[in-house]
Structure 1
Amino acid sequence: MTFWLSLLFAVGFALIHLCSKYMRFVKDAPRSWFLSAAGGVAVSYVFMHLLPDLSHHQQDIERVLNRGIGEYVENHIYLLALLGLAMYYGLERLVKKSKKQQADKKASQGVFWLHMASFFLYNALIGYLLIREESGNGWGMFFYFLALSIHFITIDQSMRRDHRDVYDKYGRVLLAAAILIGWGTGAAMKVNSFFISVLVAFLAGSIILNVLKEELPEEKESSFGAFSIGLAGYTVLLMLM
């Protein structure tokens, strides 16, 4: 049952990427109530589920890194999450710099494909975790889908703002495919736990960065009320599980 449910949610993720351009109720500036609420949901997911789950992944990391210089470093998994945040921040700065240098205010093709490669991996991991990490029960899978599907709409808006037509032509299709590839990989085999732990840590850091960069800029006129409702509502749902 969970196998078919995970496939249904994977297809749902893919459809969100393919159809988000037609969601007229989602506005980037001034920022729609929905996007601010989506930011609150994503933050709640990270702090109430993803970060606590990192403690389990820390054990996989320790088995590999607790030797040599790694023996003197604690909380490896959180350092990796910090590195993930820093890496995606550096990528966002690269995109902004490229847009300033282009006459049409779009990032260059090279930066676009680098941006796409990072989010392709991001989405593939989410697809993999859908069947491998969240399949303990249907409700857990549903809340995973709820948080990240809303987050994907925010990501789509951000990518469309940075890359415009080229994202609608190629990017959204590639990101939809990445979800299905990740899910298919998880259905076919189990990837080394150390490798997955590293990627989950990067994912946690990158989600934090992606949410904060969308909510904090003053010119987007974010709604703190909507952000708080999304944060509190999703937190309550997780606590009731």
Structure 2
Amino acid sequence: MKFGLSLLFIIGFVAIHLLSRRMKFVRMVPRSRFLSIVGGISVAYVFLHLLPELGEYQEHLYGDIGNAFWSFLEHHIYLISMLGLAFFYGLEKIVKHSKRKNSKKTKSSTGIFWLHIGSFTIYNSIIGYLMIREEFSGAWGMFFFFVAMGVHFITNDKGLWEIHKEDYEKYGRWLLAVSIIAGWGIGAISEVNELIISFLVAFISGGIILNVMKEELPEERESSFTAFFIGLFTYSILLLLL
């Protein structure tokens, strides 16, 4: 059952990447209320599901890491989450710097495009892997993961298109779609060590928080706090009931 359901949700992720550009009701500026609700949903999922799960991973890892250097992470796995946030923040600064240097162009440079898309390709692969290898609390748990990540992808896709324009349309969305399948495929045929899984979950958590906040906080986005809070509150209630 898990295999078939996860495959169905992976197909849903692929459809989102290929079609999100066509969602005319989702505008970046002024920010549509839908995207602000989406941001709230993603943040709720990170704080109420992914981060608490890191605490469980940390308990399981206690005493299991033989290497003296890595054993430090038995007590500080949240550092990986912080590094994930820092990585995507640094990436965003590089992209914006490149865009300012090429201000007369409608898109960023080719090298920056591949760096940006390459990073999100890895990001997507991890989410695809977790879709089949994560220990969900039944079908509903998997569904909530799909909803949280699916709406998060819509925000990411819109942001990537806004920066890279035709490069994203021609290459980016296809790479993101393929990477989500590739990550799921790797998870279907092999199982990564639990230590690696905990690192992946931590890294993704930090990345999601940064990617949501960078879209919601800038004043020029004209985001809606009310819509953001509605998404946050409603999804929190659903997760707590689950």
**TM interval, short-chain normalised:** over 0.9
Shift of 1:117: 1.3
1:192-211 aligned at under 5 Å gives the runs: 192-211=193-212
Question: Cα distance 1:131–1:69, how it changes in 2: closer, same or farther (>3 A)?
Answer: closer
Pair 1:120 & 2:121 matched: yes
Amino acid corresponding to residue 235 of structure 1 in structure 2: S
Deviates more, 1:123-132 or 1:50-59: 50-59
Aligned to 1:84: 84
Amino acid corresponding to residue 128 of structure 2 in structure 1: G
8 Å contact kept, 1:38–1:227: yes
CA distance in 1, matches of 2:74, 2:19: 43
1:213-232 aligned at under 5 Å gives the runs: 213-232=214-233
Shift of 1:229: 0.5
CA distance in 2, matches of 1:54, 1:26: 33
Aligned to 2:14: 14
Alignment size in residue pairs: 241
1:1-241 aligned at under 5 Å gives the runs: 1-59=1-59, 62-63=62-63, 67-69=67-69, 75-102=75-102, 103-241=104-242
Shift of 1:192: 1.9
After superposition, the C-alpha distances for 1:100-152 in whole angstroms (9 at most, x for unaligned) are 11130522111111111111111111111111114441100110011111100
CA distance in 2, matches of 1:72, 1:194: 13
Shift of 1:75: 3.3
CA distance in 1, matches of 2:203, 2:240: 25
Deviates more, 1:194-203 or 1:90-99: 194-203
TM-score between both structures, scaled by the size of structure 1: 0.95
Identity of aligned residues (%): 54
Question: Cα distance 1:182–1:69, how it changes in 2: closer, same or farther (>3 A)?
Answer: closer
Q: Which runs of 5 or more residues in structure 2 are unaligned?
A: none
8 Å contact kept, 1:64–1:194: no
Shift of 1:55: 1.1
3-state SS in 2 of match to 1:76: coil
Shift of 1:56: 2.2
Q: Which runs of 5 or more residues in structure 1 are unaligned?
A: none
Shift of 1:65: 5.1
Question: Cα distance 1:154–1:57, how it changes in 2: closer, same or farther (>3 A)?
Answer: same
Shift of 1:67: 4.9
